[in-house]
Amino acid sequence: QVQLVESGGGLVQGGGSLRLSCTVIGAHFNINTTAWYRQAPGKQLRMVASITHYNTTAYGDSMNDRCTITRDNAKNTAYLQMKNLKLDDTAMYLCRIYPPNIWGQGTQVTVDS
């Protein structure tokens, strides 16, 4: 059974940084694309960043150049480094891999003023 284990969320002050981790268990990580999404209360789910097994990256509009996605195939883990966090970045951050299409439970990021 494929599982995604996310970590790294928490409470951070505005302007601070966080690094989220997404570890894949039970799948061949090095053939997946891994992506981070976020959903704030009352708002639509939005893609933040993705990285293919060739390390090709793509970023959504929500964070632009304030985040960087990387992956460590040896650790079956993808990372989302976020900096200069703003109040609007408060959301549940969810990891997804495809194929197959598997989602994690999410990790909450709360930015405090």
Element at 22 (helix H, strand E): strand 18-25
Q: What are the E-state strand segments in 18-106?
A: 18-25, 33-39, 46-51, 57-59, 67-72, 77-82, 91-98, 102-103
In this structure, the strands spanning 67-72 and 91-98 are unpaired
Distance (Å, whole) CA 31 – CA 53? 5
Yes or no: say if 108 and 63 are a contact pair by the CB < 8 Å rule: no
Three-class secondary structure of residue 18 per DSSP: strand
pLDDT, tens digit only, all 113 positions of the chain: 889 999 999 999 999 999 999 999 987 767 789 999 999 999 999 999 999 989 999 999 888 789 999 999 889 999 999 999 999 999 999 999 998 899 999 999 999 98
